[in-house]
Amino acid sequence: MAERYDWTTEEILDLLQKPLLDLVYEAQTVHREHNSHDIQLATLLSVKTGGCGEDCGYCAQSAHHETPVKAEPIMDVAAVLGKAAQAKAAGASRFCMGWAWREIRDGKAFDDMVDMVKGVRQMGMEACVTAGMLNDSQAERLADAGLTAYNHNLDTGPEYYDQVISTRTYGDRLQTLERVRKAGITLCCGGIIGLGESLRDRARMLEILATMTPHPESVPINALVGVEGTPLQSQQTVEPFELVRMCATARILMPKTKVRLSAGRESLSQEAQVLCFMAGANSIFYGEKLLTVDNQSGDRDRDLLKEIGVQPLQPTA
């Protein structure tokens, strides 16, 4: 089946609500046609933790919420590259670095970010950065440094967005994504389920991603980790099948994209994770921590992949 860029909300809602076995079968069929069964291991590091000016209702790092995460000094280049080398030795092929910023500002911290990107690329890994909004010249400098991908999530559908975040708009998000694309950096853009959104909100988010040309090269699917002190701390935990449905639908809509099973994996059984892989998820975050919350342990992940006979994907960039 050829890739499509004209998906409608109703078509996506139909997919999300299909009988689960039919949905997974369809997604697996698309997956086999377009991809190998390898799974990419991406390791995350929080370079600048906490004290963020945005008020994202889910986030442990927002200065607007009283959470167990406190602002920490920014890590220096050597320390970050040391962590990158460890991640590579443990088998990761992508290294993702996060800054809890509303937007990138020029100056030493940005110069250091550029050096971190160059260093990670020299190690032969893909490099991804997530650091909030950016302008055209910052995007170009990151592209020149060899940045593989910029992560900037839409998080939810446009109609629900202002229920979760008030300090920026959906339009701000889309503008950053355009700048990243224009600079020739690949897009890592996805969202979170479990914020109290409707099925239509999930479909709308997927619609916006799946009608981009080209599709985002990577789509992280996060399940809310309810962090103490955030406005969303008491949301009901996402049912594993909901995650399976999101992964499967994303796979059908965007056949070649890396569908990344992201936050919330720690609370999934091994069987539920394998069902997500069947549904087309082909990347995971690998390492003890995500940015501030715990992740599944690396040993468990290695054991799981070995058990099911799946290889970690080798770097392509």
Catalytic residue among 179, 202, 204, 260: 260
Residues that bind ligand DTB (CB under 6 A): 44, 60, 96, 98, 130, 151, 153, 190, 220, 222, 225, 262-263, 290-293
Active site residue 189: no
Does residue number 197 form part of the binding site for ligand SAM (CB under 6 A)?
no
Q: Rounded to the nearest whole angstrom, what is the least distance from the CB of residue 60 to ligand SAM in the complex? A: 6
Q: Rounded to the nearest whole angstrom, what is the least distance from the CB of residue 102 to ligand SF4 in the complex? A: 6
Q: Rounded to the nearest whole angstrom, what is the least distance from the CB of residue 202 to ligand SAM in the complex? A: 13
Active site residue 96: yes
Does residue number 246 form part of the binding site for ligand SAM (CB under 6 A)?
no
Active site residue 181: no
Contacts of ligand SF4 in 28-47 (CB under 6 A)? none
Does residue number 104 form part of the binding site for ligand SAM (CB under 6 A)?
no
Please pick, from the candidates 92, 100, 113, 275, the single residue that binds ligand SF4 as defined by CB under 6 A: 100
Active site residue 247: no
Catalytic residue among 141, 168, 179, 188: 188
- Residue for token digits 């139909």? 14
Does residue number 268 form part of the binding site for ligand SAM (CB under 6 A)?
no
Active site residue 94: no
151 φ, ψ to 5°?
-95, 125
Query: 21 Cβ partners below 8 Å, 6+ apart?
Result: none
DSSP string for residues in the chain: ----S---HHHHHHHHTS-HHHHHHHHHHHHHHH--S-BEEEEEEEEE-S-BSS--TT-TTBTTS--S----PPPPHHHHHHHHHHHHHTT-SEEEEEE--SB--SSHHHHHHHHHHHHHHHTT-EEEEE-SB--HHHHHHHHHTT--EEE---BS-TTTHHHH--SS-HHHHHHHHHHHHHTTPEEE--EEE-SS--HHHHHHHHHHHHTSSSPPSEEEEEE----TTSTTTTSPPPPHHHHHHHHHHHHHHSTTSEEEE-TTGGGS-HHHHHHHHHTT--EEE-SSBSSSSB---HHHHHHHHHHHT-PBPPP--
Q: How many residues bind ligand SF4 (CB under 6 A)?
A: 9
Active site residue 188: yes
Contacts of ligand SF4 in 104-133 (CB under 6 A)? 132
User: Which residue lies nearer to ligand SAM by CB, 222 or 257?
Assistant: 222
- 62 contact choice in ligand SF4, ligand SAM, ligand DTB, none (CB below 5 to 8 Å, kind-dependent): ligand SF4
Does residue number 59 form part of the binding site for ligand SAM (CB under 6 A)?
yes
Torsion of CA 153, 24, 304, 291, to 10 degrees: 10
Please pick, from the candidates 26, 54, 201, 207, the single residue that binds ligand SF4 as defined by CB under 6 A: 54
Active site residue 128: yes
What are the catalytic residues? 52, 56, 59, 96, 128, 188, 260
Kindly list the residues in this chain that would bind ligand SF4 in the complex (CB under 6 A).
52, 54, 56, 59, 61-62, 100, 102, 132
